[in-house]
Amino acid sequence: QTVVTQEPSFSVSPGGTVTLTCGLSSGSVSTSNYPSWHQQTPGQAPRTLIYSTNTRSSGVPDRFSGSILGNKAALTITGAQADDESDYYCVLFMSTGRWVFGGGTKLTVL
């Protein structure tokens, strides 16, 4: 069974830039996996940041961007702010017709 991989944790300084990645245990991520990125703070419903690789959801600031970097999907946050401290999840579409979430990345801003 294919596993979607994410860094368990990451740290960034306020104002800094961080790139989170989303890979596959077998194979490469492409635009055909329609990667999307979702932010969740404790006790809240998730919020979509990016879908279809690089389309920003309504109201999401342009310091969040999505791309394919090498064989992974990537979420880049530029000018990190304190309230970016959250869990970030990617989800990928598989050729079986199913979607699979990664385990999430806990981002700390300090």
Partner 1 sequence: EVQLVESGGGLVQPGGSLRLSCAASGFSLSGYYMHWVRQAPGKGLVWVSRINSDGSSTNYADSVKGRFTISRDNAKNTLYLHMNSLRAEDTAVYYCLRINGGDWGQGTLVTVSS
Q: Which residues bind partner 1 (CB under 8 A)?
A: 34, 36, 38, 40, 45-49, 51-52, 57-58, 60, 87, 89, 91, 96-104
Please list, residue by residue across 82-107, b when 16 or more beta carbons sit within 10 angstroms of its beta carbon and e when fewer do: eebebbbbbbbeeeeeeebebebbeb
- Structure-token match 């079986």, residue found: 96
- The CA-atom distances, in angstroms, between 13 and each of 4, 25, 55, 62, 90 are 26, 29, 25, 19, 22
Name the residue nearer to partner 1 (CB basis): 16 or 61.
Answer: 61
Name the residue nearer to partner 1 (CB basis): 20 or 70.
Answer: 20
Name the residue nearer to partner 1 (CB basis): 79 or 103.
Answer: 103
For the CB of residue 19, give the shortest distance to partner 1 in the complex, in Å. Answer: 20
For the CB of residue 103, give the shortest distance to partner 1 in the complex, in Å. Answer: 5
